Chain A
Amino acid sequence: MSGVRVLVGTVKGAFILTADGKRDKWQVSGPHFPGWEIYHVKGSPVNPDRLYASQTSGWFGQVIQRSEDGGKTWEPAGNEFAYEGTPGTHQWYDGTQHPWEFARVWYLEPSPTDADAVYAGVEDAAIFRSTDCGQTWQEMPGLRSAKGHLWQPGAGGLCAHVILTDPSRPNRLFTAISAAGAFRSDDDGATWQPINKGLHSEWELPDPDADVGHCVHCITMHPSHPERLYMQKHWDVLRSDDGGDSWYEISGDLPTDFGFPIAVHAHDPDTVYVVPIKSDSEHYPPDARLRVYRSRTGGGEWEPLTKGLPQENCYVNVLRSALAVDALEPCGLYLGTTGGQVYASADEGNTWTPIVRDLPRVLSVEVQTLL
């Protein structure tokens, strides 16, 4: 029987929420790694029982955990992330140059084709690859060569916070970095190019159309239409129809186009979801109402989805990796909040129900569709 496994990373541990295909009765396990910050948990598309978790701590640094049984048991994997060569410097907040220093793993992306391969997006921004299930990690230094000396950390740090793989083009990778922009490799990570044409950051950059420096909060891709990408930028929601070569704004009638996550419907590349946030200085929903906005037209025209979500006195945020979609029919959505709620919708976002209400601050939500 089909089902889903929702993988939740919080500031005080990981939680795994499971349900059958109806998605109305949930089992909750956790906290796994209690007391640690869990930035991201994700499963291998090739071997769904193989999960990876990024476990971090201001005291004890970075740990990578791997499970071979769907999260029931875990073993520490390799945690050495050494930049290739002399890593050099990037811009610091005050405009001076600052040495590249590893801080933590923000994002783990298991390969869509190789069960033993996994990518890690880290702070200070770089991507590492492991081909031995996370035991050893090698940087792909070509990314930092894409004008890395001009990158400057966003408020959350200079982080490579998302990695996208293209199942139909195994040599193609995407990432986004705050605050540097979006980047693509077409040669399996050897070389990278900025893909920020069409991004306009009028208030954040001296050159609003600069090649790098944009604060890209999240990008997503429709797996069966991999040329179609969506982006939530610091301000502005954008779309690309050419694999990131160019972007155009699709904010349309959103109440605000500031936000963090963006997700695309599993079965329809024209259906896209965002969670508008009031502003860059007030990270909570406008009018204190948590609303997911859905476009059925590939952007431009948006409708608020409110049923089951708090519509008064709500001041939580939904972070960039905390919105996920499953591949069931109808498509399900999951979002985690900074207030510790995880909401699920089993009907494309029309109605929402809290799975849990009182977890620690949610950093990330992923979902595995189990067939």
Chain B
Amino acid sequence: MIRVMLPTHLQRLANASRETEIQLEGPATLGAVLDALEAQYPMLRGTIRDHRTKQRRPFIRFFACGEDWSHEPWEVQLPAEVVAGEEPLRIVGAMAGG
């Protein structure tokens, strides 16, 4: 079980709570978690990454265990604490503006 924290706007869009649980079979990569999240909440498709290219939207960030995972490839394995459900993967709307 992977814990994923969503920003407020995406919580409302998905009618989800701040933290949602994702069940994964197979390696807990960043891409696999997002695939599972979008399967569970189809309305989030296109809001975190592009529908077709899967490129991360520019003002979206992925934080885990105090580290920025935004620039990691989709195939990267998430930290053991995230895989164990001890720490959440945080999807964050980046700071932008004054």
Residues of A within 8 A of B (CB): 33-36, 57-63, 76, 79-80, 82
Give me the 3 closest cross-chain CB pairs, A-B, nearest first.
A76-B43, A60-B47, A59-B93
Interface presence of B80 (CB below 8 A): no
Give the complex CA separation of A264 and B82 in angstroms: 59
Interface presence of B60 (CB below 8 A): yes
**Contact at B9–A59, with CB atoms within 8 Å?**
yes
**Contact at A35–B9, with CB atoms within 8 Å?**
yes
Which of B25-33, B51-59, B70-78 lies at the binding interface?
A: B51-59
Interface presence of B46 (CB below 8 A): yes
Smallest beta-carbon distance A13→chain B, Å = 11
Smallest beta-carbon distance B8→chain A, Å = 8
**Contact at B60–A80, with CB atoms within 8 Å?**
no
**Contact at B96–A79, with CB atoms within 8 Å?**
no
**Contact at B60–A59, with CB atoms within 8 Å?**
yes
**Contact at B57–A59, with CB atoms within 8 Å?**
yes
Residues of B within 8 A of A (CB): 7-10, 12-13, 43, 45-48, 51-52, 57, 59-60, 93-94, 96
**Contact at B93–A79, with CB atoms within 8 Å?**
no
Selected from B8, B10, B45, B52, the residue in CB contact (under 8 A) with A82 is B52
Give the complex CA separation of A58 and B93 in angstroms: 10
Give the complex CA separation of A60 and B94 in angstroms: 10
Smallest beta-carbon distance A67→chain B, Å = 15
Selected from A33, A34, A36, A61, the residue in CB contact (under 8 A) with B46 is A61
Give the complex CA separation of A79 and B13 in angstroms: 12
**Contact at A61–B43, with CB atoms within 8 Å?**
no
**Contact at B94–A59, with CB atoms within 8 Å?**
yes
Selected from A34, A57, A58, A82, the residue in CB contact (under 8 A) with B51 is A82
**Contact at B96–A63, with CB atoms within 8 Å?**
no
Give the complex CA separation of A57 and B96 in angstroms: 12
Give the complex CA separation of A149 and B45 in angstroms: 30
Known: A57-B9, A82-B52. A62 touches B46 (CB 8 A): yes
**Contact at A60–B10, with CB atoms within 8 Å?**
yes
Give the complex CA separation of A62 and B57 in angstroms: 11
Selected from B7, B12, B47, the residue in CB contact (under 8 A) with A61 is B47
**Contact at B59–A63, with CB atoms within 8 Å?**
no
Further contacts, 6 of them, CB under 8 A, given A58-B59, A63-B46: A59-B96, A60-B9, A60-B10, A60-B57, A60-B93, A76-B13
**Contact at A63–B52, with CB atoms within 8 Å?**
no
**Contact at A36–B9, with CB atoms within 8 Å?**
yes
**Contact at A61–B57, with CB atoms within 8 Å?**
yes
**Contact at A79–B57, with CB atoms within 8 Å?**
no
Smallest beta-carbon distance A56→chain B, Å = 11
Using CB atoms, name the residue of chain A closest to B47. Answer: A60
**Contact at B9–A80, with CB atoms within 8 Å?**
no
Known: A35-B9, A76-B13. A63 touches B93 (CB 8 A): no
Across the interface, which residues of B come within 8 angstroms of A58, CB to CB?
59, 96
Using CB atoms, name the residue of chain A closest to B49. Answer: A61
Across the interface, which residues of B come within 8 angstroms of A63, CB to CB?
13, 43, 46-47
Smallest beta-carbon distance B9→chain A, Å = 6
Across the interface, which residues of A come within 8 angstroms of B57, CB to CB?
59-61
Across the interface, which residues of B come within 8 angstroms of A35, CB to CB?
8-9
Give the complex CA separation of A62 and B50 in angstroms: 11
Give the complex CA separation of A82 and B50 in angstroms: 11
Give the complex CA separation of A319 and B47 in angstroms: 27
Give the complex CA separation of A60 and B13 in angstroms: 10
Across the interface, which residues of A come within 8 angstroms of B51, CB to CB?
80, 82
Subset of 10 A-B contacts with CB under 8 Å: A59-B57, A60-B48, A60-B57, A60-B60, A61-B57, A63-B13, A63-B47, A76-B13, A82-B51, A82-B52
Using CB atoms, name the residue of chain B closest to A36. Answer: B9
Across the interface, which residues of A come within 8 angstroms of B47, CB to CB?
60-61, 63, 79
Give the complex CA separation of A35 and B59 in angstroms: 16
Give the complex CA separation of A87 and B81 in angstroms: 44
Across the interface, which residues of B come within 8 angstroms of A79, CB to CB?
43, 45-47
Using CB atoms, name the residue of chain A closest to B52. Answer: A82
Selected from B43, B46, B52, B59, the residue in CB contact (under 8 A) with A59 is B59
Across the interface, which residues of A come within 8 angstroms of B96, CB to CB?
58-59
Smallest beta-carbon distance A280→chain B, Å = 26
**Contact at A80–B93, with CB atoms within 8 Å?**
no
